[in-house]
Structure 1
Protein backbone atom coordinates (compact mmCIF):
# COMPACT_ATOMS: atom_id res chain seq x y z
CA UNK A 1 0.00 0.00 0.00
CA UNK A 2 2.88 2.35 0.86
CA UNK A 3 4.38 1.84 -2.58
CA UNK A 4 1.08 2.79 -4.18
CA UNK A 5 0.80 5.91 -2.06
CA UNK A 6 4.37 6.82 -2.96
CA UNK A 7 3.53 6.49 -6.63
CA UNK A 8 0.51 8.72 -6.10
CA UNK A 9 2.68 11.29 -4.35
CA UNK A 10 5.21 11.20 -7.21
CA UNK A 11 2.45 11.71 -9.76
CA UNK A 12 0.93 14.59 -7.79
CA UNK A 13 4.25 16.40 -7.37
CA UNK A 14 5.04 15.94 -11.06
CA UNK A 15 1.66 17.39 -11.91
CA UNK A 16 2.31 20.35 -9.63
CA UNK A 17 5.61 20.92 -11.47
CA UNK A 18 3.98 20.62 -14.91
CA UNK A 19 1.11 22.93 -13.98
CA UNK A 20 3.40 25.63 -12.62
CA UNK A 21 2.34 25.19 -9.01
CA UNK A 22 6.00 24.33 -8.34
CA UNK A 23 7.88 25.92 -11.27
CA UNK A 24 11.56 25.33 -12.03
CA UNK A 25 13.76 26.75 -9.30
CA UNK A 26 10.94 27.09 -6.76
CA UNK A 27 11.08 25.86 -3.18
CA UNK A 28 8.63 23.16 -2.06
CA UNK A 29 6.66 23.56 1.17
CA UNK A 30 8.04 21.80 4.27
CA UNK A 31 7.32 18.07 4.43
CA UNK A 32 4.28 18.40 6.71
CA UNK A 33 2.69 21.09 4.56
CA UNK A 34 3.51 19.21 1.35
CA UNK A 35 1.98 16.01 2.68
CA UNK A 36 -1.16 17.91 3.67
CA UNK A 37 -1.39 19.53 0.23
CA UNK A 38 -0.96 16.14 -1.44
CA UNK A 39 -3.49 14.54 0.89
CA UNK A 40 -0.98 11.78 1.59
CA UNK A 41 0.88 10.90 4.77
CA UNK A 42 4.44 12.03 5.46
CA UNK A 43 6.18 8.69 4.86
CA UNK A 44 5.16 8.19 1.20
CA UNK A 45 5.61 11.93 0.61
CA UNK A 46 9.18 11.65 1.86
CA UNK A 47 9.81 8.63 -0.39
CA UNK A 48 8.35 10.48 -3.37
CA UNK A 49 10.69 13.41 -2.77
CA UNK A 50 13.65 11.00 -2.61
CA UNK A 51 12.62 9.35 -5.88
CA UNK A 52 12.19 12.67 -7.67
CA UNK A 53 15.54 13.81 -6.32
CA UNK A 54 17.19 10.77 -7.90
CA UNK A 55 15.38 11.63 -11.14
CA UNK A 56 16.85 15.17 -10.89
CA UNK A 57 13.41 16.76 -10.77
CA UNK A 58 13.99 17.90 -7.19
CA UNK A 59 17.09 18.96 -5.30
CA UNK A 60 17.47 18.73 -1.52
CA UNK A 61 19.60 21.55 -0.13
CA UNK A 62 20.68 20.68 3.37
CA UNK A 63 19.61 23.27 5.90
CA UNK A 64 17.53 25.10 3.34
CA UNK A 65 14.83 22.85 1.89
CA UNK A 66 13.76 21.06 -1.28
CA UNK A 67 13.73 22.84 -4.63
CA UNK A 68 12.60 22.05 -8.13
CA UNK A 69 15.67 21.85 -10.36
CA UNK A 70 16.15 23.82 -13.57
CA UNK A 71 14.45 20.88 -15.38
CA UNK A 72 16.98 21.34 -18.19
CA UNK A 73 17.11 18.39 -20.63
CA UNK A 74 20.82 17.91 -19.89
CA UNK A 75 19.92 17.42 -16.24
CA UNK A 76 16.84 15.23 -16.63
CA UNK A 77 18.47 13.00 -19.25
CA UNK A 78 21.91 12.74 -17.70
CA UNK A 79 21.32 9.13 -16.68
CA UNK A 80 21.00 8.04 -20.29
CA UNK A 81 24.70 7.37 -20.83
CA UNK A 82 24.84 5.23 -17.69
CA UNK A 83 21.96 3.16 -19.04
CA UNK A 84 23.71 2.84 -22.40
CA UNK A 85 26.83 1.50 -20.69
CA UNK A 86 24.80 -1.50 -19.47
CA UNK A 87 23.61 -2.47 -22.93
CA UNK A 88 25.19 -5.21 -25.00
CA UNK A 89 24.73 -7.31 -28.13
CA UNK A 90 21.73 -6.39 -30.24
CA UNK A 91 20.88 -3.40 -28.07
CA UNK A 92 24.19 -1.81 -29.06
CA UNK A 93 23.26 -2.06 -32.72
CA UNK A 94 19.81 -0.70 -31.88
CA UNK A 95 21.53 2.36 -30.45
CA UNK A 96 23.46 2.87 -33.67
CA UNK A 97 20.16 2.70 -35.55
CA UNK A 98 18.82 5.47 -33.34
CA UNK A 99 21.98 7.48 -33.99
CA UNK A 100 21.54 6.91 -37.74
CA UNK A 101 18.03 8.31 -37.50
CA UNK A 102 18.95 11.34 -35.40
CA UNK A 103 22.45 12.46 -36.35
CA UNK A 104 21.96 13.15 -40.08
CA UNK A 105 18.86 15.23 -39.30
CA UNK A 106 20.70 17.05 -36.52
CA UNK A 107 23.61 17.79 -38.84
CA UNK A 108 21.25 19.10 -41.51
CA UNK A 109 19.60 21.36 -38.93
CA UNK A 110 23.01 22.56 -37.79
CA UNK A 111 23.90 23.47 -41.38
CA UNK A 112 20.90 25.77 -41.52
CA UNK A 113 21.59 27.42 -38.17
CA UNK A 114 25.32 27.37 -37.48
CA UNK A 115 26.99 30.71 -36.81
CA UNK A 116 30.48 31.68 -37.92
CA UNK A 117 31.66 31.38 -34.32
CA UNK A 118 30.20 27.88 -33.95
CA UNK A 119 31.67 26.85 -37.29
CA UNK A 120 35.09 27.99 -36.07
CA UNK A 121 34.75 25.70 -33.04
CA UNK A 122 33.91 22.74 -35.29
CA UNK A 123 36.90 23.61 -37.50
CA UNK A 124 39.18 23.72 -34.47
CA UNK A 125 38.20 20.19 -33.47
CA UNK A 126 38.64 18.99 -37.06
CA UNK A 127 42.13 20.51 -37.35
CA UNK A 128 43.10 18.81 -34.08
CA UNK A 129 41.78 15.48 -35.41
CA UNK A 130 44.01 15.77 -38.48
CA UNK A 131 47.00 16.37 -36.20
CA UNK A 132 46.10 13.44 -33.92
CA UNK A 133 45.36 10.93 -36.68
CA UNK A 134 47.60 8.29 -35.04
CA UNK A 135 46.50 8.93 -31.44
CA UNK A 136 43.35 6.88 -30.82
CA UNK A 137 42.72 8.17 -27.30
CA UNK A 138 42.95 11.78 -28.46
CA UNK A 139 40.81 11.07 -31.52
CA UNK A 140 38.12 9.67 -29.26
CA UNK A 141 38.02 12.89 -27.24
CA UNK A 142 38.10 15.10 -30.33
CA UNK A 143 35.45 13.03 -32.09
CA UNK A 144 33.03 13.57 -29.21
CA UNK A 145 33.86 17.29 -29.12
CA UNK A 146 33.40 17.62 -32.89
CA UNK A 147 29.97 16.02 -32.92
CA UNK A 148 28.86 17.86 -29.78
CA UNK A 149 29.84 21.17 -31.39
CA UNK A 150 27.85 20.26 -34.49
CA UNK A 151 24.72 19.36 -32.53
CA UNK A 152 25.12 22.38 -30.26
CA UNK A 153 24.76 24.48 -33.40
CA UNK A 154 21.16 23.26 -33.73
CA UNK A 155 20.28 25.14 -30.55
CA UNK A 156 18.34 22.06 -29.42
CA UNK A 157 19.56 21.00 -25.98
CA UNK A 158 17.31 17.93 -25.85
CA UNK A 159 18.68 16.63 -29.13
CA UNK A 160 22.25 17.29 -28.03
CA UNK A 161 21.72 15.44 -24.76
CA UNK A 162 20.12 12.45 -26.46
CA UNK A 163 22.95 12.11 -28.98
CA UNK A 164 25.55 12.51 -26.24
CA UNK A 165 23.86 9.75 -24.29
CA UNK A 166 23.70 7.18 -27.08
CA UNK A 167 27.19 7.99 -28.41
CA UNK A 168 29.18 7.16 -25.29
CA UNK A 169 32.92 7.57 -24.93
CA UNK A 170 33.34 3.81 -24.66
CA UNK A 171 31.66 3.10 -27.99
CA UNK A 172 33.60 5.89 -29.67
CA UNK A 173 36.89 4.51 -28.35
CA UNK A 174 36.12 1.00 -29.56
CA UNK A 175 35.14 2.20 -33.04
CA UNK A 176 38.29 4.31 -33.35
CA UNK A 177 40.44 1.35 -32.30
CA UNK A 178 38.69 -0.76 -34.91
CA UNK A 179 39.30 1.98 -37.46
CA UNK A 180 43.01 1.98 -36.59
CA UNK A 181 43.18 -1.82 -36.88
CA UNK A 182 41.80 -1.56 -40.42
CA UNK A 183 44.25 1.20 -41.27
CA UNK A 184 41.54 3.61 -42.35
CA UNK A 185 41.78 6.25 -39.63
CA UNK A 186 42.50 8.91 -42.24
CA UNK A 187 39.36 7.91 -44.14
CA UNK A 188 37.22 8.41 -41.04
CA UNK A 189 38.82 11.79 -40.39
CA UNK A 190 38.04 12.64 -44.02
CA UNK A 191 34.37 11.88 -43.32
CA UNK A 192 34.47 14.50 -40.57
CA UNK A 193 36.01 16.91 -43.08
CA UNK A 194 33.07 16.30 -45.44
CA UNK A 195 30.66 17.10 -42.62
CA UNK A 196 32.52 20.31 -41.84
CA UNK A 197 32.57 21.41 -45.48
CA UNK A 198 28.81 20.89 -45.77
CA UNK A 199 28.31 22.97 -42.63
CA UNK A 200 30.61 25.68 -43.99
CA UNK A 201 28.54 25.75 -47.18
CA UNK A 202 25.32 25.89 -45.14
CA UNK A 203 24.03 22.95 -47.19
CA UNK A 204 21.58 20.84 -45.14
CA UNK A 205 21.16 18.10 -47.75
CA UNK A 206 24.87 17.49 -48.19
CA UNK A 207 25.40 17.77 -44.44
CA UNK A 208 22.78 15.09 -43.83
CA UNK A 209 24.34 12.81 -46.47
CA UNK A 210 27.85 13.27 -45.07
CA UNK A 211 26.67 12.50 -41.54
CA UNK A 212 24.74 9.45 -42.74
CA UNK A 213 27.80 8.06 -44.49
CA UNK A 214 29.86 8.55 -41.34
CA UNK A 215 27.32 6.91 -39.04
CA UNK A 216 26.78 4.07 -41.51
CA UNK A 217 30.51 3.28 -41.46
CA UNK A 218 30.45 2.94 -37.67
CA UNK A 219 27.23 0.94 -37.70
CA UNK A 220 28.50 -1.57 -40.24
CA UNK A 221 31.68 -2.13 -38.24
CA UNK A 222 29.71 -2.67 -35.04
CA UNK A 223 27.31 -5.10 -36.71
CA UNK A 224 30.30 -7.09 -37.96
CA UNK A 225 32.04 -7.23 -34.60
CA UNK A 226 29.59 -6.99 -31.70
CA UNK A 227 29.26 -10.47 -30.26
CA UNK A 228 32.56 -11.72 -31.68
CA UNK A 229 34.72 -13.47 -29.13
CA UNK A 230 37.66 -11.21 -29.94
CA UNK A 231 35.77 -8.02 -29.11
CA UNK A 232 36.82 -6.78 -25.62
CA UNK A 233 34.14 -6.12 -23.04
CA UNK A 234 34.91 -2.40 -23.02
CA UNK A 235 32.04 -1.94 -25.49
CA UNK A 236 29.66 -2.90 -22.71
CA UNK A 237 31.39 -2.09 -19.43
CA UNK A 238 33.51 0.93 -20.23
CA UNK A 239 36.72 -0.88 -19.27
CA UNK A 240 39.73 -0.33 -21.44
CA UNK A 241 41.25 -3.49 -22.99
Structure 2
Protein backbone atom coordinates (compact mmCIF):
# COMPACT_ATOMS: atom_id res chain seq x y z
CA UNK A 1 0.00 0.00 0.00
CA UNK A 2 1.40 3.45 -0.92
CA UNK A 3 2.45 5.42 2.16
CA UNK A 4 -0.03 8.23 1.40
CA UNK A 5 -2.91 5.76 1.24
CA UNK A 6 -1.73 4.27 4.53
CA UNK A 7 -1.69 7.73 6.09
CA UNK A 8 -5.19 8.48 4.80
CA UNK A 9 -6.41 5.17 6.20
CA UNK A 10 -5.00 5.91 9.65
CA UNK A 11 -6.57 9.37 9.81
CA UNK A 12 -9.86 7.91 8.59
CA UNK A 13 -9.70 5.27 11.35
CA UNK A 14 -9.29 8.02 13.96
CA UNK A 15 -12.42 9.75 12.62
CA UNK A 16 -14.50 6.58 12.30
CA UNK A 17 -13.58 5.47 15.83
CA UNK A 18 -14.66 8.82 17.20
CA UNK A 19 -11.19 9.75 18.37
CA UNK A 20 -11.41 12.74 16.04
CA UNK A 21 -14.89 14.25 16.18
CA UNK A 22 -16.40 16.66 13.61
CA UNK A 23 -14.89 20.08 14.27
CA UNK A 24 -11.93 18.65 16.20
CA UNK A 25 -8.43 19.99 15.65
CA UNK A 26 -5.75 17.50 14.62
CA UNK A 27 -2.66 17.20 16.84
CA UNK A 28 0.46 19.01 15.73
CA UNK A 29 2.01 17.53 12.61
CA UNK A 30 5.15 16.21 14.32
CA UNK A 31 3.17 14.65 17.17
CA UNK A 32 0.59 13.04 14.88
CA UNK A 33 3.22 11.68 12.49
CA UNK A 34 5.12 10.08 15.37
CA UNK A 35 1.96 8.70 16.91
CA UNK A 36 0.81 7.10 13.63
CA UNK A 37 4.28 5.90 12.66
CA UNK A 38 4.33 8.03 9.51
CA UNK A 39 6.78 10.40 7.93
CA UNK A 40 5.77 14.05 8.08
CA UNK A 41 5.80 14.17 4.27
CA UNK A 42 3.32 11.31 3.87
CA UNK A 43 1.13 12.85 6.58
CA UNK A 44 1.13 16.18 4.70
CA UNK A 45 0.09 14.43 1.48
CA UNK A 46 -2.73 12.64 3.28
CA UNK A 47 -3.96 15.87 4.84
CA UNK A 48 -3.85 17.57 1.44
CA UNK A 49 -5.90 14.77 -0.15
CA UNK A 50 -8.48 14.74 2.65
CA UNK A 51 -8.82 18.51 2.50
CA UNK A 52 -9.61 18.31 -1.22
CA UNK A 53 -12.59 16.09 -0.53
CA UNK A 54 -13.68 18.30 2.39
CA UNK A 55 -12.96 15.83 5.18
CA UNK A 56 -10.30 18.12 6.64
CA UNK A 57 -10.09 21.90 6.72
CA UNK A 58 -6.58 23.38 6.70
CA UNK A 59 -6.58 26.84 8.27
CA UNK A 60 -3.37 28.75 7.70
CA UNK A 61 -1.84 29.89 10.97
CA UNK A 62 -4.41 28.01 13.02
CA UNK A 63 -4.23 24.29 12.31
CA UNK A 64 -6.06 21.46 10.60
CA UNK A 65 -9.60 20.57 11.62
CA UNK A 66 -12.08 17.82 10.85
CA UNK A 67 -14.99 19.40 8.96
CA UNK A 68 -18.60 19.02 10.05
CA UNK A 69 -18.68 15.84 7.91
CA UNK A 70 -22.24 16.76 6.96
CA UNK A 71 -23.54 15.28 3.68
CA UNK A 72 -23.76 18.67 1.96
CA UNK A 73 -20.07 19.29 2.70
CA UNK A 74 -18.77 15.84 1.77
CA UNK A 75 -20.85 15.63 -1.41
CA UNK A 76 -19.97 19.15 -2.57
CA UNK A 77 -17.28 17.75 -4.86
CA UNK A 78 -19.90 15.75 -6.79
CA UNK A 79 -21.09 18.83 -8.65
CA UNK A 80 -17.50 19.68 -9.53
CA UNK A 81 -16.96 16.20 -10.95
CA UNK A 82 -20.12 16.43 -13.07
CA UNK A 83 -18.98 19.78 -14.46
CA UNK A 84 -15.75 18.19 -15.69
CA UNK A 85 -17.56 15.62 -17.83
CA UNK A 86 -18.78 15.93 -21.40
CA UNK A 87 -22.48 15.95 -22.24
CA UNK A 88 -22.41 12.28 -23.19
CA UNK A 89 -21.18 11.42 -19.69
CA UNK A 90 -23.66 13.80 -18.06
CA UNK A 91 -26.31 11.41 -19.40
CA UNK A 92 -25.16 8.90 -16.81
CA UNK A 93 -25.69 11.46 -14.08
CA UNK A 94 -29.14 12.19 -15.49
CA UNK A 95 -29.91 8.48 -15.36
CA UNK A 96 -28.97 8.50 -11.69
CA UNK A 97 -31.11 11.56 -11.10
CA UNK A 98 -34.03 9.78 -12.80
CA UNK A 99 -33.71 7.00 -10.22
CA UNK A 100 -33.26 9.19 -7.14
CA UNK A 101 -35.47 12.22 -7.73
CA UNK A 102 -38.79 10.38 -8.11
CA UNK A 103 -38.03 8.57 -4.84
CA UNK A 104 -37.34 11.88 -3.12
CA UNK A 105 -40.53 13.35 -4.56
CA UNK A 106 -42.60 10.45 -3.27
CA UNK A 107 -41.00 10.84 0.15
CA UNK A 108 -41.80 14.56 0.10
CA UNK A 109 -45.45 13.75 -0.62
CA UNK A 110 -45.47 11.70 2.57
CA UNK A 111 -43.47 13.79 5.04
CA UNK A 112 -42.97 17.35 3.74
CA UNK A 113 -44.37 19.77 6.36
CA UNK A 114 -47.50 21.66 5.30
CA UNK A 115 -45.76 25.04 5.55
CA UNK A 116 -42.98 23.83 3.24
CA UNK A 117 -45.56 22.52 0.76
CA UNK A 118 -47.19 25.95 0.78
CA UNK A 119 -43.81 27.59 0.18
CA UNK A 120 -43.22 25.21 -2.73
CA UNK A 121 -46.45 26.41 -4.32
CA UNK A 122 -45.32 30.01 -3.87
CA UNK A 123 -42.17 29.23 -5.86
CA UNK A 124 -44.37 28.31 -8.82
CA UNK A 125 -46.73 31.26 -8.30
CA UNK A 126 -43.85 33.74 -8.17
CA UNK A 127 -42.73 32.90 -11.70
CA UNK A 128 -43.88 35.67 -14.04
CA UNK A 129 -45.36 34.79 -17.42
CA UNK A 130 -42.71 36.89 -19.16
CA UNK A 131 -39.85 35.55 -17.04
CA UNK A 132 -36.40 35.49 -18.64
CA UNK A 133 -34.63 32.21 -19.27
CA UNK A 134 -32.31 32.97 -16.34
CA UNK A 135 -35.32 33.42 -14.06
CA UNK A 136 -36.87 30.21 -15.36
CA UNK A 137 -33.71 28.22 -14.65
CA UNK A 138 -33.37 29.74 -11.17
CA UNK A 139 -37.00 28.90 -10.45
CA UNK A 140 -36.49 25.35 -11.72
CA UNK A 141 -33.46 24.83 -9.47
CA UNK A 142 -35.28 26.23 -6.43
CA UNK A 143 -38.31 24.02 -7.07
CA UNK A 144 -36.20 20.88 -7.23
CA UNK A 145 -34.10 21.95 -4.22
CA UNK A 146 -37.23 22.30 -2.09
CA UNK A 147 -38.59 18.95 -3.25
CA UNK A 148 -35.31 17.22 -2.31
CA UNK A 149 -35.23 18.95 1.07
CA UNK A 150 -38.84 17.95 1.60
CA UNK A 151 -37.86 14.28 1.46
CA UNK A 152 -36.43 14.69 4.95
CA UNK A 153 -33.31 12.73 3.98
CA UNK A 154 -30.23 14.97 4.10
CA UNK A 155 -27.99 12.53 2.24
CA UNK A 156 -30.48 12.13 -0.60
CA UNK A 157 -30.97 15.90 -0.68
CA UNK A 158 -27.22 16.53 -0.98
CA UNK A 159 -26.84 13.90 -3.71
CA UNK A 160 -29.64 15.45 -5.75
CA UNK A 161 -28.24 18.94 -5.32
CA UNK A 162 -24.93 17.73 -6.67
CA UNK A 163 -26.64 16.04 -9.63
CA UNK A 164 -29.09 18.83 -10.39
CA UNK A 165 -26.99 21.97 -10.42
CA UNK A 166 -24.38 20.84 -12.97
CA UNK A 167 -27.12 19.95 -15.49
CA UNK A 168 -28.08 23.62 -15.80
CA UNK A 169 -26.24 23.90 -19.12
CA UNK A 170 -28.42 21.15 -20.62
CA UNK A 171 -31.57 22.86 -19.27
CA UNK A 172 -30.57 26.18 -20.80
CA UNK A 173 -29.71 24.51 -24.08
CA UNK A 174 -33.09 22.80 -24.16
CA UNK A 175 -34.96 26.00 -23.25
CA UNK A 176 -33.30 27.84 -26.11
CA UNK A 177 -33.75 25.18 -28.78
CA UNK A 178 -36.87 23.11 -28.09
CA UNK A 179 -40.20 24.75 -28.79
CA UNK A 180 -42.59 24.49 -25.85
CA UNK A 181 -39.95 23.17 -23.44
CA UNK A 182 -40.49 25.97 -20.92
CA UNK A 183 -44.28 25.54 -20.90
CA UNK A 184 -43.98 21.77 -20.51
CA UNK A 185 -41.55 22.19 -17.62
CA UNK A 186 -43.89 24.55 -15.79
CA UNK A 187 -46.89 22.25 -16.37
CA UNK A 188 -44.99 19.27 -15.00
CA UNK A 189 -43.81 21.27 -11.99
CA UNK A 190 -47.44 22.13 -11.28
CA UNK A 191 -48.48 18.47 -11.58
CA UNK A 192 -45.67 17.42 -9.22
CA UNK A 193 -46.67 20.10 -6.73
CA UNK A 194 -50.33 19.09 -6.78
CA UNK A 195 -49.40 15.45 -6.18
CA UNK A 196 -47.15 16.41 -3.26
CA UNK A 197 -49.73 18.82 -1.81
CA UNK A 198 -52.41 16.13 -2.19
CA UNK A 199 -50.21 13.61 -0.37
CA UNK A 200 -50.25 11.21 -3.33
CA UNK A 201 -46.74 9.69 -3.32
CA UNK A 202 -47.26 7.26 -6.22
CA UNK A 203 -48.54 10.05 -8.47
CA UNK A 204 -45.71 12.33 -7.34
CA UNK A 205 -43.20 9.58 -8.18
CA UNK A 206 -44.73 9.11 -11.64
CA UNK A 207 -44.73 12.82 -12.52
CA UNK A 208 -41.15 13.25 -11.32
CA UNK A 209 -40.10 10.32 -13.50
CA UNK A 210 -41.79 11.85 -16.54
CA UNK A 211 -40.24 15.22 -15.78
CA UNK A 212 -36.62 14.09 -15.38
CA UNK A 213 -36.90 11.59 -18.23
CA UNK A 214 -37.92 14.41 -20.56
CA UNK A 215 -34.58 16.19 -20.16
CA UNK A 216 -32.66 12.94 -20.47
CA UNK A 217 -34.58 11.91 -23.62
CA UNK A 218 -34.07 15.35 -25.15
CA UNK A 219 -30.33 15.35 -24.45
CA UNK A 220 -29.94 11.90 -26.00
CA UNK A 221 -31.67 13.19 -29.12
CA UNK A 222 -29.56 16.35 -29.17
CA UNK A 223 -26.42 14.23 -28.99
CA UNK A 224 -27.68 12.00 -31.80
CA UNK A 225 -27.67 8.78 -29.82
CA UNK A 226 -29.01 5.74 -31.71
CA UNK A 227 -32.66 5.08 -31.02
CA UNK A 228 -33.34 8.53 -29.57
CA UNK A 229 -35.59 11.24 -30.94
CA UNK A 230 -33.90 13.74 -33.28
CA UNK A 231 -32.80 17.05 -31.74
Question: Is TM more than 0.5 here?
Answer: yes
Query: For residue 238 of structure 1, what is the aligned residue in structure 2?
Result: none
Match of 1:177 in 2: 176
In structure 2, the partner of 1:195 is 192
Structure 1 unaligned residues grouped into runs of 5+: 229-241
**CA shift digits 1:99-156 (9 cap, x unpaired):** 1111111100011011112112211211123x24552111101000000001101121
1:45 shift after superposition = 0.8
Distance 1:115 1:5, change over 3 A: same
Q: Which stretches of structure 1, 4 residues or more, deviate above 4 A after TM superposition?
A: none
Shift of 1:173: 2.1
2:55/2:67 contact within 8 Å kept: yes
Aligned counterparts of 1:149 and 1:57: Cα–Cα separation in 2: 26
**C-alpha separation in 1, matches of 2:184 and 2:169:** 21
1:213 matched to 2:225? The reply is no
**C-alpha displacement of 1:89:** 4.2
Aligned to 1:154: 151
* Match 2:99 to one of 98, 101, 106: 101
More divergent stretch after superposition (181-190 vs 109-118) = 181-190
* 1:62 alignment partner, one of 60, 63, 87: 60
What residue in structure 2 maps to residue 237 of structure 1? Answer: none
Query: Alignment partner of 2:134: what SS?
Result: helix
Note the alpha carbon deviations across 1:35-93, whole angstroms, 9 max, x for none. 01111111111111111111111112222211100001111111111111122243122
Per the TM alignment, residue 175 of structure 1 is displaced from its structure 2 partner at its CA by 2.9
Aligned residues: 223
Q: Structure 1, residues 166-192: CA drift from partner, whole Å, max 9, x if none?
A: 2223233223323xx313422220100
Name structure 2 gaps, 5 residues minimum.
Answer: 226-231
Q: Pick closer, same or farther for the CA change 1:145–1:89 going to 2, 3 Å.
A: closer
Q: Is contact 1:113-1:153 (8 Å) kept?
A: yes
Aligned partner of residue 58 in structure 2, secondary structure: strand
Distance 2:89 2:31 in 1: 45
What's 2:220 paired with?
Answer: 223
C-alpha contact (below 8 Å) 1:188/1:214 kept by paired residues? yes
